[in-house]
């Protein structure tokens, strides 16, 4: 990527490409990951991980990390 046009092209292709969420989560599970913590304000990704495999542990960070003062 060398020019602004290159950046625009890459971003456009990225926005129009499939998201390989299920494949990515399955790969992580296959590699031995079984505990997922979602960083961010919501829990949408946690629900999506559980949708892929109910056997893994998944939770939003706010539920597993100590509150900051």
| Ramachandran bin of 32, using left for φ above 0, alpha for ψ from -120 to 50, beta for the remaining angles | left
Q: What percentage of the chain reaches a pLDDT higher than 70?
A: 99
Helix H segments across 16-64? Answer: 21-30, 44-52, 61-64
Q: Which of 24, 29, 19 is nearest to 54 (CA)?
A: 29
Return the CA Rg of the chain: 16
pLDDT over 90 (residue 24): yes
Could you tell me how far CA 62 lies from the centroid of its own chain? 16
pLDDT tier, 8 (very low <50, low <70, confident <90, very high otherwise): very high
Neighbours of 67 (CB within 10 A): 5
């Amino acid at each position: 990527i060398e020019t602004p046009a290159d950046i625009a092209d890459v971003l456009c292709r990225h926005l129009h490409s499939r998201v390989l969420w299920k494949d990515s989560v399955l790969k992580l599970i296959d590699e031995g990951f079984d505990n997922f913590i979602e960083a961010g304000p919501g829990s949408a990704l946690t629900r999506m991980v559980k949708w892929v495999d109910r056997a893994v542990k998944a939770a939003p960070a706010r539920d597993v990390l100590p509150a900051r003062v």
